Chain A
Amino acid sequence: MRIEVERAILQSADEAAAAIRELLSGRKIFALNLLSSPGSGKTTLIEALLARFDGKGGVAVVEGDIETEIDAERIRKHGVQVRQINTHSACHIQPTRLLSVLREMDLSETRLLLVENVGNLVCPAEVSLGEDARVVLLSVTEGDEKPLKYPLVFKTSDLLVITKTDLLPYVTFDVERVRRAARAANPAVQIFEVSATTGAGMSLLLDRIEALRAAKNG
Chain B
Amino acid sequence: MHELGVASEILDIALSEAGRHAAKKVTSIRLRVGVLRAIEPENLSFLFGHLARGTPAEGALLEIVEEPVRVECEGCGASEARSFTIECPRCKGPGVTVTGGDSLSILSLEIDA
Q: Separation in Å of the B83 CB from the closest CB of chain A?
A: 8
**Interface assignment of B21: CB less than 8 Å from any CB of chain A:** yes
Contact B36 A151 (CB under 8 A): yes
Residue from B38, B107, B112 within 8 A of A4 (CB atoms): B107
In the complex, chain A residues 163-197 whose Cβ is within 8 Å of any chain B Cβ: 177, 180-181, 183-185, 187
Could you say which residues of chain A place their CB within 8 Å of the CB of B85?
Answer: 148, 184
* Interface membership of A106, Cβ < 8 A: no
Of B2, B98, B109, the residue contacting A2 (CB under 8 A) is B109
Distance (whole angstroms) from the CB of B9 to the closest CB of chain A: 5
Across-interface contacts of A12 in B (CB, < 8 A): 9
- Does B17 make an interface contact (CB < 8 A)? yes
Fill in one digit per residue for B1-43: 1 if any A CB lies within 8 Å of its CB, else 0: 1100110011001000100010100000001000011100000
Q: Is the CB of A7 within 8 A of B96?
A: no
State the CA gap A122–B1 with chains docked (Å): 10
The A contact surface, by secondary structure, is mixed
Whether A152 lies near B37 (C-beta < 8 A) is yes
| Cα separation A122 to B6 with both chains bound (whole Å) | 13
Task: Report the Cα distance A9→B38, complex, angstroms.
Answer: 14
Return the chain B residue nearest A154 by Cβ.
B84
For B2, the chain A residues whose CB sits under 8 A away are: 91-92, 122-123, 126
Residue B102, interface by CB 8 Å: yes
Q: Are A184 and B104 interface neighbours, CB within 8 A?
A: no
A155 interfacial by beta-carbon distance below 8 Å: yes
Q: Chain A: residues with CB nearer than 8 A to chain B?
A: 1-10, 12, 89-92, 122-123, 126, 148, 150-152, 155, 177, 180-181, 183-185, 187
List the 8 shortest-distance A-B pairs measured between CB atoms, nearest first: A151-B84, A123-B2, A5-B106, A152-B36, A3-B109, A8-B105, A181-B86, A9-B104
